[in-house]
Structure 1
Amino acid sequence: MNTHLKTYHPYVSPYDPCQPLLEKTYSTPPHLYMGFQPPNLPQFSPMEALRAGTLWKAFYDPWYGPYEQGKRRQSP
């Protein structure tokens, strides 16, 4: 199963004056995991689509910071 939340470990310099972040997180959009757009996908209403930035619910992916995990994967 694919996950939309990815992590990586950046280079940490021995001369870095600040406490380094050992792991960073980023989000990948759901359309990367669809080979094609299936027919008859559920759609947002026109006003919801303007707020979400997409017409199709399957392509909606709100971005939340790594400290807001409880809010992830909610529709507008």
Structure 2
Amino acid sequence: MKTYQPFHSRFDPCPPIGVKFYSTPPHLYMGFQPPNLQQYSPKVALKKGTLWPALYDPYKNPYEAKRG
């Protein structure tokens, strides 16, 4: 999970947005697919959306805690 803070000018009539969150998928950090990667079973792979555990990235909503 990564964050950034959008620019807010002192002349901007709108209130500042604050911190924004975004997620980058794990395949961006793999230059190539290594041979013999561990694999999920077909049933688990369908639930997770990928065959390889190294490429699985569950979504965690960073705004969920703020809704309280």
What TM-score results when the alignment is normalised by the length of structure 2?
0.78
What runs of 5+ residues in structure 1 fail to find an aligned partner? 70-76
Q: Supply the distance in 2 between the matched residues of 1:30 and 1:56 (Cα, whole angstroms).
A: 11
1:52 aligns to 2:42 (yes or no): no
| Counterpart position of 1:23 | 19
Aligned residues: 63
What runs of 5+ residues in structure 2 fail to find an aligned partner? none
Greater than 3 Å deviation, 4+ residue runs: none
Q: Supply the distance in 1 between the matched residues of 2:2 and 2:46 (Cα, whole angstroms).
A: 27
Which letter does structure 2 place at the counterpart of 1:12? H
| Counterpart position of 2:2 | 6
Q: Give the structure with the higher percent helix.
A: 2
- Greater C-alpha Rg: 2
Residue 28 of structure 1, CA deviation: 0.3
Residue 12 of structure 1, CA deviation: 3.3
Residue 7 of structure 1, CA deviation: 1.0
1:65 aligns to 2:61 (yes or no): yes
- The partner residue of 1:42 within 38, 43, 62 is 38
Q: Percent identity?
A: 62
